[in-house]
Amino acid sequence: MKTNPFRTAQSASKLSLPKLSAGVLLMGLALSASARDAGESVKAQLAPVLGQAPQTKETPKAHKPRRWYQVGVASWYGTHFQGRKTADGERFDMNRMTCAHPTLPMGTWLRVTNLKNRHSTFVRVNDRGPVTEGRIVDLSAAAARVLGLSGVGKVRLETVRESDPELAMALVSQLKPPTLVASGNQ
């Protein structure tokens, strides 16, 4: 018996019904998307004729950069480390406003606020630490004294950036200008 290489119309329609419906669905989606885009461009072209301002897509508003902050437990270190080298190479002085932080770049200025009494001060990162798990910063003895921190306490850290004039001005007001000593041989 000889096989027929052609399919009958009835068997072809049964096999291609799912493919046909998928194709129709895709064509419908494509046409609706192109019609929507064309409609928007036609509206933009007709707006001046109709006396309307052309509608454009709104550009996102520029907003203030967010401040980096960290909240956690702070501790302080003092006499045991006095005079030892810090991670940035300088000698530790417990009477200066410095701190140890695990990740911030050396030289970064931070505003530290004691969340219990709301006292705050500025410190500079010059060391790595804290060594004790669960703490976010080790303050020098002077910084801890200003904050009213005896032992450990919950604090908020904020970095001082030049794009934030409020914090920068507060930092400058805390820094003491050098005093000029008049010589007696004039």
Both structure tokens of 133: 């798990």
Which of the residue ranges 60-64, 101-105, 128-132 would you say has the lowest mean pLDDT?
Answer: 60-64
Helix (H) or strand (E) holding 11: helix 9-50
Q: What pLDDT is recorded for position 17?
A: 63
Angle at 101 between CA 97 and CA 104, to 5 degrees: 105
pLDDT in tens, 1-44: 566 665 555 555 455 666 666 666 666 666 665 555 555 555 56
pLDDT in tens, 68-126: 899 999 999 989 999 999 999 999 999 999 999 999 999 999 999 999 999 999 999 99
152-176 in b/e form (b: 16+ CB < 10 A) is ebebbbbbbeeebeebeeebeeeee
**Average pLDDT over every residue of 55-69:** 68
CA dihedral 134, 139, 143, 147 (to 10 degrees): 0
The three-class DSSP label of residue 162 is coil
Q: What pLDDT is recorded for position 5?
A: 60
Query: How far is Cα 44 from Cα 81, in angstroms, rounded to an integer?
Result: 71
Q: What pLDDT is recorded for position 75?
A: 96
CA-to-CA separations, 131 to 50, 127, 163, in angstroms, rounded: 71, 11, 32
How far the first Cα of the chain sits from its last, in Å, is 130
142 or 41: which carries more pLDDT confidence?
142
- Cis preceding linkage at 130, omega within 30: yes
Domains and CATH numbers, the chain: 69-174 (2.40.40.10)
Q: How confident is the model at residue 166 (pLDDT cuts 50, 70, 90)?
A: confident
Is the pLDDT score of 61 beyond 80? Answer: no
- Cis preceding linkage at 105, omega within 30: no
Asked if residue 123 lies in contact with residue 140, where contact means CB atoms within 8 angstroms, the answer is: yes
**Average pLDDT over every residue of 157-172:** 85
